[in-house]
Amino acid sequence: MFYGGDYNPEQWPEPVWREDLALMRAAGVTVVTVGVFAWSVLEPSPGRYAFGWLDTVLDGLAGAGIRVALATPTAAPPPWFSRRHPETLPVGPDGIRRSPGSRDTYCASAPAYRAAARRLAGALAERYRRHPALALWRVHNEYGTTCHCDLTADAFRGWLERRYGSLDALNDAWTTTFWSQRYGDWAEILPPRTTQYLPNPAQVLDFRRFTSDELLDAYREQRDVLRTVAPGVPVTTNFVLGDWVPVDHLRWSREVDLVAVDHYPAESGPAAEEEAAFLADLARGWALDGTGRPDWLLMETAPNLVYTRGRMHAKEPGRMTRHALAAVARGSRGAMFFQWRAPRGGAEVFHAAMVPHAGAETRVHREAAALGATLARTAELLDAAVEARVAVGFHEPSQWALDATVLPSSAVDHRTEARLAHRALARGGLTCDVVGGLDGLSRYAVLVLPCWYLLTDEQSATLAGWVTGGGRLVATYLTGVADDRARVHPGGRAGALRELLGVRLEEVHPLAEGAGRALSGGASGSLWSETVHLTGADATIRYEDGRPAVTRHRVGSGEAWYLSTRLDDEAYVALLGAVAEGAGVLPRRPPPPAGVEVVRRTRDGRGWLVAINHGERPYDLRADGLDLLTGEAVTAGDPLRPGAAVVVREGAGP
């Protein structure tokens, strides 16, 4: 199991390294990430490498039996590099070049930067390819810098030429006849820099896709150097989710040997656990798509303080451990933290650490130190499948298109709707995969597409085939509205899906904040509502005025459902539960109360139950088997105490 964190020995004198090693060994640390932001120390001046300190660090770690995710330091070019190659500094949408003095000061389209990144990866690989500590390459850190410079503009044009072939095709795809934007020369096309008024959403969407591909090329170049020089060592890069991240992680998942994600919940209350569960199920969805295996790695998370709305909140005792186990429950190969030791200065001086400023004699360090042994006991979960017959779609390009478009309601957000669907399933006792694509549908009996805005005719046909064969599709409003160029399918929204859904959507009525619409059966809808005409479907829930709100269309041996409004929690849980039940997917146990997570893993006919009680009341787990965390038998009737977790190997036997 991976247990450790980002380790920055370059910030400390050698005596501290010795203390670090002793503390890590005592804590059962197995892997640390080294060198993420060490470029200026590794290459203090052009072409002059200083590997001595890193040799000592890696030798010390190897001696202590600790392995290393060796990072390439390319996310933070040093001042000399930026000074020498000013064109590698990113340019904002305002056209202003950013100055050195922080991190992520790179432009992925700048040849000098790309060359330096390849060179550094090569130098590290040459030096350490046979080092016994080397377990994994971690390329870069959280790829995500967008640049709007002239070099980027050139690269963008090249990407567009490859995508569209001709200016006519591009003009058509971008609907440039709107507002007189027709391009007559490739050279006229720019990245979406700050404009006088609203930009062209198709241009914004394509620029995000381009940026994702450009960054991916930069990653691949480093990966390929590492693979050539150090064959057999797995390569990854840490993903992060956020509005600012122009990365299509589904595609990237196919280029890494292990999907690794960073997770910093934006919430400090109970929603943090729901958010963490969503992200974990999403990471597993990427892993299933990319590597074909369910396992992934929580590469960074905070051991303590969570930054929410201008305040740092401490994680209560036990919460770090529960979060780590929750990730492991959902397929992570362990838990790694940012960071090992709190820095004395720098931009993140108050960020949480496994060794806080107050040192090892602290609550946080003691909890971190105990976690090593805890995680080690869960090792037999590795590669066990997570039982999930239900999926929720999360499509980053749809999110980008929705972000780039002026919608009838600015409150609509694909991320939020995906989270709500995930939560409703969880509350109904159903574990789901969160999937970014439609390639693996055969794994699932039920698929929820929440505001999955972009859908090609081909994808609609895939969905239709799957439904006809017995799948249960639940599409919410704003699903399938536009093609992959963000052009609305004609004939009423959900164009491509209309036939499958058996509805015609005539008009939208966004709802004011806090406003609701009463629905039949005592439910209520919020945020959005529509005029829906039935063209084959029947209405299962209606608006007060009798018009259809939720519809079901039986097609072949499956069903296609449409939700024209955001259902209240209770109604959503009930509806998804009923759809799943109709598909023969029943929760194995009564849905756990809020704050309790239960995930079942299986491998070769063997089952494990991971249960975590984040709540305040004991939970009746009703499981029989051996708790791997304590080594003791668990029998039905043993309550799971508040704050406790168990990993139960089901059944009797060793």
Judged by the rule CB under 6 A, the positions of this chain that interact with ligand GAL are 141-142, 240, 262, 264, 300, 338, 348, 351
The CA-to-CA distance between both ends of the chain, in Å, stands at 21
- Pick from 42, 149, 369, 579: which binds Zn ion (CB under 5 A)? 149
Nearer to ligand GAL, 336 or 598 (CB): 336
Tell the smallest beta-carbon distance from residue 77 to Zn ion (Å): 13
Q: Which stretch binds Zn ion (CB under 5 A): 66-74, 151-159, 376-384, 431-439?
A: 151-159
| Side-chain-side CA neighbours of residue 152 (13 Å) | 29
The position carrying tokens 């503390």 is 23
How do 31-34 and 67-71 pair as beta strands?
parallel
Q: What are phi and psi of 156, to 5 degrees?
A: -60, -45
Residue 585's binding partner, choosing from ligand GAL, Zn ion, none, with beta-carbon cut-off 5 to 8 A by kind?
none
Q: Which stretch binds Zn ion (CB under 5 A): 148-156, 451-459, 507-515, 633-641?
A: 148-156
Gyration radius from the chain CA atoms? 26
- The DSSP result for 46-110, as a single string, is TTB---HHHHHHHHHHHHTT-EEEEEP-TTS--HHHHHH-GGGS-B-TTSPBPPSSSS----TT-
Contact by Cβ (8 Å): 199, 211 = no
Nearer to ligand GAL, 151 or 305 (CB): 305
**Which of 324, 312, 225, 232 shows the shortest CA–CA distance to 268?**
312
**Which of 268, 352, 360 shows the shortest CA–CA distance to 304?**
352
Q: Which stretch binds Zn ion (CB under 5 A): 45-53, 152-160, 356-364, 560-568?
A: 152-160
Does 107 sit near Zn ion (CB under 5 A)?
yes
Q: d(Cα 651, Cα 281) in Å, to the nearest integer?
A: 26
Tell the smallest beta-carbon distance from residue 166 to Zn ion (Å): 26
DSSP one-letter code for 294: S
Residue 466's binding partner, choosing from Zn ion, ligand GAL, none, with beta-carbon cut-off 5 to 8 A by kind?
none
- Pick from 141, 152, 175, 237: which binds Zn ion (CB under 5 A)? 152
Nearer to ligand GAL, 142 or 396 (CB): 142
| Side-chain-side CA neighbours of residue 273 (13 Å) | 24
Does 360 sit near Zn ion (CB under 5 A)?
no
Residue 368: strand pairing partners = none
Residue 107's binding partner, choosing from Zn ion, ligand GAL, none, with beta-carbon cut-off 5 to 8 A by kind?
Zn ion
Q: Is 387 a catalytic residue?
A: no
Q: d(Cα 306, Cα 351) in Å, to the nearest integer?
A: 9
Residue 240's binding partner, choosing from Zn ion, ligand GAL, none, with beta-carbon cut-off 5 to 8 A by kind?
ligand GAL
Contact by Cβ (8 Å): 576, 541 = no
To which H or E segment does residue 333 belong?
A: strand 332-337
Tell the smallest beta-carbon distance from residue 287 to ligand GAL (Å): 20
Nearer to ligand GAL, 304 or 479 (CB): 304
In sequence order, which residues have a C-beta less than 8 Å from that of residue 379 and are 6 or more positions away? 1
Q: Is 221 a catalytic residue?
A: no
In sequence order, which residues have a C-beta less than 8 Å from that of residue 210 and are 6 or more positions away? 155, 156, 159, 160
Q: Is 447 exposed, middle or buried (0-12, 13-18, 19+ CB in 10 A)?
A: buried
Tell the smallest beta-carbon distance from residue 271 to Zn ion (Å): 37
Nearer to ligand GAL, 74 or 141 (CB): 141
Tell the smallest beta-carbon distance from residue 248 to Zn ion (Å): 19
Nearer to ligand GAL, 262 or 484 (CB): 262
Residue 489's binding partner, choosing from Zn ion, ligand GAL, none, with beta-carbon cut-off 5 to 8 A by kind?
none
Does 147 sit near Zn ion (CB under 5 A)?
yes
Q: Which stretch binds Zn ion (CB under 5 A): 144-152, 189-197, 247-255, 467-475?
A: 144-152
**Which of 381, 267, 276 shows the shortest CA–CA distance to 333?**
381
Catalytic pick from 142, 273, 367, 559? 142
Does 402 sit near Zn ion (CB under 5 A)?
no
Tell the smallest beta-carbon distance from residue 338 to ligand GAL (Å): 5
Which residue in the shown chain puts its C-beta closest to ligand GAL?
Answer: 338
Catalytic pick from 43, 214, 275, 300? 300
Contact by Cβ (8 Å): 472, 557 = no
Contact by Cβ (8 Å): 121, 222 = yes
Nearer to ligand GAL, 248 or 262 (CB): 262
Residue 42's binding partner, choosing from Zn ion, ligand GAL, none, with beta-carbon cut-off 5 to 8 A by kind?
none
Tell the smallest beta-carbon distance from residue 498 to ligand GAL (Å): 41
Q: d(Cα 332, Cα 330) in Å, to the nearest integer?
A: 6
Q: What's the sign of the alpha-carbon dihedral 93, 99, 102, 108?
A: positive
Nearer to ligand GAL, 249 or 601 (CB): 249
Residue 300's binding partner, choosing from Zn ion, ligand GAL, none, with beta-carbon cut-off 5 to 8 A by kind?
ligand GAL
**The token pair that represents 315 in the structure block:** 């994680």
Residue 338's binding partner, choosing from Zn ion, ligand GAL, none, with beta-carbon cut-off 5 to 8 A by kind?
ligand GAL
Residue 301: strand pairing partners = 263
Residue 259's binding partner, choosing from Zn ion, ligand GAL, none, with beta-carbon cut-off 5 to 8 A by kind?
none
**Active-site residues: which are they?**
142, 300
Residues at the site binding Zn ion, with contacts judged by CB under 5 A: 107, 147, 149, 151-152
